[in-house]
Structure 1
Amino acid sequence: MNRSMIPTKAFLTRGVGRHRYRLKSFEEALRSAGVAQQNLVQVSSIVPPKCRFIGQKEGLEKLSPGQICYCVMARTDTNEHGRLIASAIGVAIPKESSQWGYLSEVHEYGMNRQQASEMAEDLAADMLGTTLGLEVDPDQAWSEKEQVYKASGLIIRASSMTQTARGQRGHWTTAVALAVFLFEGDESLL
């Protein structure tokens, strides 16, 4: 196994962009998130065992222009005036550091920040919970499920990063939220 390809750190970031062209709106959202100068490679939703989350500022300082960065990205676009959009990344980390965690992506219309954040956390915690053998009623509200997960002692953290925005007349609006993975040691692998 090539251990150099297993991320040891990750950070969350978010941004919003607006422009008359959709692609440029996306670029502006990535700029707002601080990752426009990287080559982003989207991956699925696993947080490797022992991967540590660091602050956004610290994470962004570790990046170099042109670098290949693996990330989990939520992206939502609209060109409808007044339309509410939300992009969120949910994180669920197990207590046992040898176990992997989960990330979730939410790309929604009509959700406010709290709704999107709760959905992202709920999805990530549910994926981790079922892996750990926890059975929770899927129809319960997130606040109720969160208590079950915490009481189990198996999940130590569920959190999220959310970006919301409203569409503006004559422009595309893009909201992004990302979990960006970092590798310890060989900086060229980023």
Structure 2
Amino acid sequence: MFVPTKCFFTKGVGVHKDKLASFELALRQAGIEKYNLVYVSSIFPPNCRLIDREDGLRELHPGSIVYVVMARSETNEPNRLISAAIGHAMPKESNEYGYLSEHHAYGETSEISGEYAEDLAATMLATTLGIEFDPDRAWQEREQIYKASGKIIYTTHNCQAAEGDMDGKWTTVISAAVFV
């Protein structure tokens, strides 16, 4: 079985009169349009490490089957705010798995959407590690509890937001974790 050892984050925006072409342009901006993308769920493999987008893209070849966790949002409503975010949470032990989360939203800024996705990933990881927390507390409070436990070492997010095109063309945003 294939278990990725590297991963990178990327994002993009596309605007076009056709919905599919808008998605294609977002993929192009993200640099992943020339691959056959296979959507996978939210597990960040043990011993997998994050690398820079440029380094990751150099390892891929046009036409390759590439596994991604992707968030996508689209609109053709002028000025409608859309966002797509990937959250990431890593355990302290590199031989344990972490989590990725996808979040697609309307009316959320990049900061709000990104923090929500990060919170989702960290909360999923915290529950598997047996970290006790109050789910009704604010993300910033829970983040401190998660990190103070000594079991979660790293959380982050990657988010793309945009406003719908003024002329009603399709606007698509994507955010992706790409496995290599």
TM-score under structure 1 length normalisation: 0.93
1:55 and 2:44 equivalent? no
- Alpha-carbon deviation of 1:135? 2.1
| Deviations 1:97-126 (CA, angstroms, capped at 9, x unpaired) | 121000000000000011011101100000
- Alpha-carbon deviation of 1:170? 2.5
| Deviations 1:25-72 (CA, angstroms, capped at 9, x unpaired) | 000000000000000000000011100110111111111111110000
1:120 and 2:122 equivalent? no
1:144 is matched with 141
1:175 is matched with 173
SS in 1 for 2:103: strand
1:8 and 2:5 equivalent? yes
1:134 is matched with 131
Stretches of structure 1 that go unaligned for 5 or more consecutive residues are 183-190
Q: How does 1:9-158 map to 2 (within 5 A)?
A: 9-158=6-155
Q: Percent identity?
A: 57
Q: Following TM superposition, where does structure 1 have runs of at least 4 consecutive aligned residues deviating by more than 4 angstroms?
A: none
1:188 is matched with none
Alignment partners' CA distance in 1, 2:84 and 2:123: 19
Alignment partners' CA distance in 2, 1:15 and 1:50: 27
Alignment partners' CA distance in 1, 2:139 and 2:46: 25
State the superposition RMSD in angstroms.
0.7
TM-score under structure 2 length normalisation: 0.98
Stretches of structure 2 that go unaligned for 5 or more consecutive residues are none
